[in-house]
Amino acid sequence: MPREASITYEQVAAIADRIKAAGGKPTPRQIRERHGSGSLGTIHKLFQRWEGSHPVSTEAGSSLPPALQRAILDYVTQERATARADLDAKLSDIQAAADELAADSERQTDHIQTLENALQTSQEEKAALAGKIEQMETDRSAARDEAARERQAAETTRTELAKAQVRLDAMPSLERENERLRSAVDAERAARTDAERLAAIAEAKVAGLAERLEDSQARHTHEVATLDSQLKDHKRRDATLEAELSAMRKESRDLAARLAQAHGELEALRAQNAGHLDVIKGFTAQSAVTGAS
């Protein structure tokens, strides 16, 4: 958003009128020093508007006595020197204002480049964060698959234990059959013990994996929330940088336009100065012819 001007035309006109009323010749630099703030380019444009509302008029008689003509010639010569000095001072002020506008434009260009570099860095950081989030999603999916495999293994072990228990319960109660099957029972008991040990190991592994999965999910949830917050911050920074960059580009274009206008006004003053000198030379020649006759 463009900044509001810190000085108005009314303030420039009031200061210029006071300087002129005191017998001085106002310039944009004097107005800036008295006001204490404001861009020299803005003050120069407002000062040109004030000068346009105070035109300088010149009148000359077509036929004057020789003595009066000589007095006027002396006066014109003196005024020509004064006007030339004033014009030279105005040209110097306009050139200084143009130089300052050019320097300000260069500073704005450097600032725009800095903002563009910051925007590029922010976009690279955003891309890196998006890649990190994608990798974390992949890791979480792998952890879920591993936990599912461990649960399946534990379920298989429980099924085998249930089958062994069914076989033990179905054994005949006869002593002879008991003796015959004692060795088988012992073997089944050993197998059950091994199975129970394996089941306990599997349960412990499942519990560990479940705990690891919960920790991983909690860390992932926290990291995702943190990364989402960072992405939002980067988006806000991107929007702010884009807005600043747009404003700086507009201001740079305005400065370039004012610089071109200042150069045009400088050329106009130079042409005006040349025209005044031609008029004075013509008047001097006419006075010389009149005095000779």
Q: Choose one of 54, 78, 97: the last residue of a domain.
A: 54
pLDDT band for position 61 (cuts 50, 70, 90) = very low
Q: pLDDT at position 35, please?
A: 92
- pLDDT over 70, % of the chain: 82
pLDDT exceeds 70 at position 102: no
Tokens 């900044």 correspond to: 3
Look at the chain and count its residues. Answer: 293
Per the model's pLDDT, the better-predicted residue between 138 and 185 turns out to be 138
86 and 221 together in one domain:
yes
Q: How many domains does the chain have?
A: 2
Whether 140 has a pLDDT exceeding 80, the answer reads: yes
Whether the CB-CB separation of 42 and 72 falls below 8 Å is answered with no
Is the same domain home to 35 and 157?
no
Is residue 48 in a domain? Answer: yes
Range 200-232 burial, b when 16+ CB lie within 10 A, else e: eebeeebeebeeeeeebeeebeeeeeeeeeeee
Question: Residues 46, 76: one domain?
Answer: no
The predicted structure's pLDDT at residue 153: 80
Measured CA to CA, the distance from residue 202 to residue 152 in angstroms comes to: 10
In a domain, 59, yes or no: no
Q: Per the domain annotation, does 60 fall within a domain?
A: no
For 93, the 3-state DSSP assignment is helix
Range of the domain at 246: 67-292
Q: With bands split at pLDDT 50, 70 and 90, how would you rate the model's confidence at 59? A: very low
Residue 153 corresponds to which tokens in the numbers above? Answer: 């293994």
Residues 124 and 251 reside in one and the same domain: yes
When pLDDT is cut at 50, 70 and 90, the band that residue 60 belongs to is very low
Regarding whether 236 and 128 lie in a shared domain, the answer is yes
| pLDDT bucket at 293, cuts 50 / 70 / 90 | low
Report phi then psi at 112, rounded to 5.
Answer: -60, -40
- pLDDT at position 62, please? 47
Q: Are residues 5 and 124 both part of a single domain?
A: no
pLDDT at residue 34 in the model: 93
What b/e string do you get for 113-128 counting C-beta neighbours within 10 Å, with b at 16 or more?
Answer: eebeeebeebeeebee
Assess whether 158 and 13 both reside in one domain.
no
What per-residue confidence (pLDDT) applies to 42?
Answer: 92
Residue spans of alpha helices (H) in the chain: 9-21, 28-35, 40-52, 66-169, 175-292
DSSP 160-178: HHHHHHHHHHTS---HHHH
Within a domain: 62: no
pLDDT single digits (tens) 223-259: 858 868 887 987 898 798 789 878 888 987 987 888 8
Domain contains 61: no
Question: Is 80 among the domain residues?
Answer: yes
Q: What is the pTM of this model?
A: 0.28
* Res. 195: pLDDT tops 70: no
Residue holding tokens 């303030």?
11
Give the span between the Cα atoms of 291 and 51, in whole angstroms.
37
Indicate whether 130 and 275 sit together in one domain: yes
For residues 208-213, give the mean pLDDT: 73
Task: Give the model's pLDDT for residue 164.
Answer: 63
Q: Each residue of 156-168: pLDDT tens digit? A: 878 886 886 777 6
Please check the confidence at residue 154 and state whether its pLDDT lies above 90.
no
The verdict on 211 and 253 lying in the same domain is yes
Question: Are 108 and 231 found together in one domain?
Answer: yes
Residue 13 is predicted with a pLDDT of 95
Map tokens 């020649």 to a residue.
Answer: 285
Confidence class of residue 109 from pLDDT cuts 50, 70 and 90?
low
The encoded tokens of residue 249 equal 């580009």
Shared domain check, 41 and 173: no
What span, in angstroms and rounded, lies between the C-alpha atoms of 86 and 94? 12
Distance between CA 83 and CA 272 in Å, rounded? 11
Same domain, residue pair 7 and 102: no
Query: Pick the residue with more confidence: 263 or 43?
Result: 43
Q: Is residue 17 part of a domain?
A: yes
Rounded to whole angstroms, how far apart are CA atoms 189 and 197?
Answer: 12
Q: Is residue 220 part of a domain?
A: yes
Confidence at residue 14, expressed as pLDDT on a 0 to 100 scale: 96
Q: State both tokens at 141.
A: 């999916």
Residue 50: pLDDT above 80?
A: yes
CATH number reported for the structural domain that contains residue 168 in this entry: 1.10.287.2610
